[in-house]
Structure 1
């Protein structure tokens, strides 16, 4: 049996539009199910050539699939009258090359029409995926099979917490360009990093980042991180960028020193000046308490109290982790964020930051009314002082809600990434006796304790070459963001170094975790933690000129703090905390890794390390 579909021609475009009703009017014999094939005729009776049947953007293929794949008895409860103006039935076996199926028994031919509600969308989706794959400019690039058809594969790996390892395996298997979803390629090409992450800002962020925004009074409010409009981002960042400069960060050093002293006091009280069987503990957890309390001190002149209480007493740290987990999963299909978290009816997203928001609002009110005089010293300014000054300087563009937004970015974005760097520097150094020995020797040779400089001044610690190398290597091996950072190719397209052309609108992803292991930049053994790669190899005869050339190459490929106009605004603050606390701990204590240490990395937007279990004792 052949089903002949009538079509009408658009006189302007010359394309043929199928008459969908013709599919629903084909009477099917009661004695069995035919195996239908298609041929298409013009409404005038002439045969339409196959070349005219590929109608991009039309529903022709979908309708054809319904006729071919969906038995007639699923469409109608009974045979309707034949509409000869739409359909002709032909029992022409010579033209079909097919035989009628043998009679079937026991088949119910009168079925409910409701399955069509599922079958048509399913067929439409499958055929759309097929069309997208056939005509995709990314079709040539290798990648996982399911990644070619759906983002669900990508969402799944983000959910597992091992996405950075999976991405590394894919690049090892397929090379520098991997297609990870139907519309995204992940690239490991250091030469294009300065272009993709440039200060021009013409490579726009994708909707991936919108998941970190907030819903306030049924309005989606973007922050410095989730804002994808470069002009709006520049407008929001410009008033406060100067507050994060190296000199401005140095003015906050007294706040950082007070928290470092508090950390040492609590570690000694809880884990050092105690019986031997109670000395083993998770130093990584206390590093997180330290970075969050530093954030409270530099932002409000008052730590949040995690060191004092010794646990996540208000649930903010847990909420931050869950928010990151939600962000990376929902980012694979950004439209789901509006469905789950940003809908005005019922929210099923991650835990909210009501506690952090409440703290920000209360501290702002206290500053206005002078209720924080007990702990706030105007001679040692904090970020809240600076944000209020920005409002006073430009009241038309800076409001109290804008100040709250800036405070929230400080609270949520800065603490975790700094803790990641410190934990990595400690764990990887402790795991390598040679590195740990040299790091201890170089720090203790400065005699900070004997000189009464504990915590040591940042500028002195930063001047120790090997300390700088250890921190930079920790950032390289496990950057604060290990996920693929997505950008749109700008209008006009882009040509890759290999000559491949990518049209505008293509999504390119670049993962710092992957590019930081590129051997053409970081040398053979880029997977290993080796701080010496940031130093001149004098023993090997490397000249200063060669070293500077190599260092420049590594710096250009370094995405540990992002790049270009969207680089991390709190970079200097994070480095201050990292260098100072690392030097302080090594100056005052002997630290050894516990045999029970079970280092584990969960890759969320910020990778979370677990298992930095140590034993510490005070140096004599």
Structure 2
């Protein structure tokens, strides 16, 4: 009995000591009590699918640096977020980034934690993503917008005598998948052509996404499922017929064919990657990332912007007035008829561009914390508090984008006008300063510094042209105003569905 008591006492004492040490390390940082000794607080947010809202709430309650797990701090301090990703910052990516590694043994540019290799990958990829060496980029986007328009006209267009509705969230996903494949490889998947979820890719990808949330909470799981003998049971493979594996197989096939060609690399993204020294295996991995990341976030911005516009009559009227003043009425018989609005023309639609920027701010396509790791020597904050080395510091994206200090007292309101008030040359110095600050904050959706999203240029071009074209060509209304869309937050992204709309030619709502 005495021996049992000693053992139990030892276990209890060990637990108490561990709990104390867990709390003591980051004792200078406030936060929910349970977060000091366990990950239960984060787990609760994951289960309830409101972690982004809870992160904002605790930052509002406790201040700009909040402890949310034994070794995790979240911050809504924009200056610190920008500093962590600055070119010469000693902060590094945390192991969270390894969760989205497709290849067992090779990182892509987003998952790579070695700063040297990460910089080298960005150098090889930058020209292709920027469009400088992809001379047919806009042409590729045009081709898919035209296919989207043709599909709507043929199958989903309502007339005076015929009402039809279309689930636009899925149609938009087909579109963005085909766009990125066409732009990257010169060959679309065919989602729009077939108007179906080929091999169930979209469905499977949505089902798999929640898994990454648990891997981010428990990195040990990520290391476990990548062990030989275990990984084949859980990790996607190029031989899979659905989901991420299907995309990997597609990328492998395309890359293999391109690398076997004897002529000069083509003038598309993959050709640019080849020209700058990307190996065949690196190209396969980057292509998979390109398709997944390039479609999932862009499609959220496309859906949300369209929805914000068409559900606000005043804003919708302003967008239509602007587009009508800039471009002639769509008339296929006119010699000036343009089925797809050029990007040069779309960039003149300043109010529409403000709507896009405001949509991305209010409902960001990505708001994962994406923790960075404090350097071994630690970091002293301006207020005198010390961040121990190895601490993970995540970004409260949702909190920054809804900050009243940055965006004003109406930060929670969709108001595109805020992007037109302070940015022009005639504005005062203080107004221009506010605009720069808002821009800095809004752009963190795309990352910053050495971690800025390479696909930003492509995404914004796609959004401008697509929205300008369909909003100029059609009258679009939601068919269920009480529930216009379903948003499900998963792993720092939004899964969206049931966005049913009615589409009619201009003047025929």
Select 1:421's aligned residue among 301, 307, 311: 301
Larger radius of gyration: 1
1:71 is the counterpart of 2:5: yes
The equivalent residue for 1:592 is: 477
Whose helix proportion is higher, 1 or 2? 2
The equivalent residue for 1:549 is: 433
Q: CA deviation at 1:543?
A: 3.0
Q: CA deviation at 1:215?
A: 4.5
Structure of higher RCO (CA pairs closer than 8 Å, 6+ residues apart):
2
Q: Distance in 2 between matches of 1:549 and 1:533?
A: 13
Structure 1 unmatched runs, 5+: 1-26, 29-66, 76-115, 392-397
TM-score normalised to structure 1 length: 0.74
Structure 2 unmatched runs, 5+: 238-243
Q: Distance in 1 between matches of 2:347 and 2:364?
A: 19
Q: Secondary structure at the match of 1:337?
A: helix
Over 3 Å counting, the alpha-carbon distance change for 1:613 and 1:580 in structure 2 is: same
The equivalent residue for 2:310 is: 430
Select 1:255's aligned residue among 123, 140, 160: 140
Over 3 Å counting, the alpha-carbon distance change for 1:249 and 1:581 in structure 2 is: farther
The equivalent residue for 1:264 is: 149
Q: CA deviation at 1:534?
A: 0.7
- For residues 179-227 of structure 1, what are the alpha-carbon distances to aligned partners after superposition, in whole Å with 9 as ceiling and x for unaligned? 11111111111232321221225211111111111354xxx32111111
Q: Distance in 2 between matches of 1:399 and 1:159?
A: 40
Over 3 Å counting, the alpha-carbon distance change for 1:368 and 1:566 in structure 2 is: closer
The equivalent residue for 2:460 is: 575
The equivalent residue for 2:403 is: 518
8 Å Cα contact 1:263-1:290 kept in structure 2:
yes
The equivalent residue for 1:230 is: 115
1:359 is the counterpart of 2:359: no
The equivalent residue for 2:275 is: 389
8 Å Cα contact 1:429-1:435 kept in structure 2:
yes
Q: CA deviation at 1:245?
A: 1.8
TM-score normalised to structure 2 length: 0.89
The equivalent residue for 1:198 is: 86
1:407 is the counterpart of 2:287: yes
Q: Distance in 2 between matches of 1:258 and 1:509?
A: 39
The equivalent residue for 2:227 is: 343
- For residues 384-415 of structure 1, what are the alpha-carbon distances to aligned partners after superposition, in whole Å with 9 as ceiling and x for unaligned? 22223234xxxxxx421111112112111111
1:447 is the counterpart of 2:327: yes
Q: Distance in 2 between matches of 1:499 and 1:246?
A: 44
How large is the RMSD of aligned CA atoms in angstroms? 2.8
Q: Secondary structure at the match of 2:60?
A: helix
8 Å Cα contact 2:95-2:219 kept in structure 1:
yes
Q: Distance in 2 between matches of 1:545 and 1:246?
A: 33
The equivalent residue for 2:61 is: 173
The equivalent residue for 1:534 is: 419
- For residues 483-518 of structure 1, what are the alpha-carbon distances to aligned partners after superposition, in whole Å with 9 as ceiling and x for unaligned? 212112234433334332323332211122211111
8 Å Cα contact 2:133-2:269 kept in structure 1:
no
- How many residue pairs align between the two structures? 492
Q: CA deviation at 1:338?
A: 1.4
8 Å Cα contact 1:298-1:382 kept in structure 2:
yes
The equivalent residue for 1:154 is: 42
- For residues 128-158 of structure 1, what are the alpha-carbon distances to aligned partners after superposition, in whole Å with 9 as ceiling and x for unaligned? 122221x22x223332222121124313422
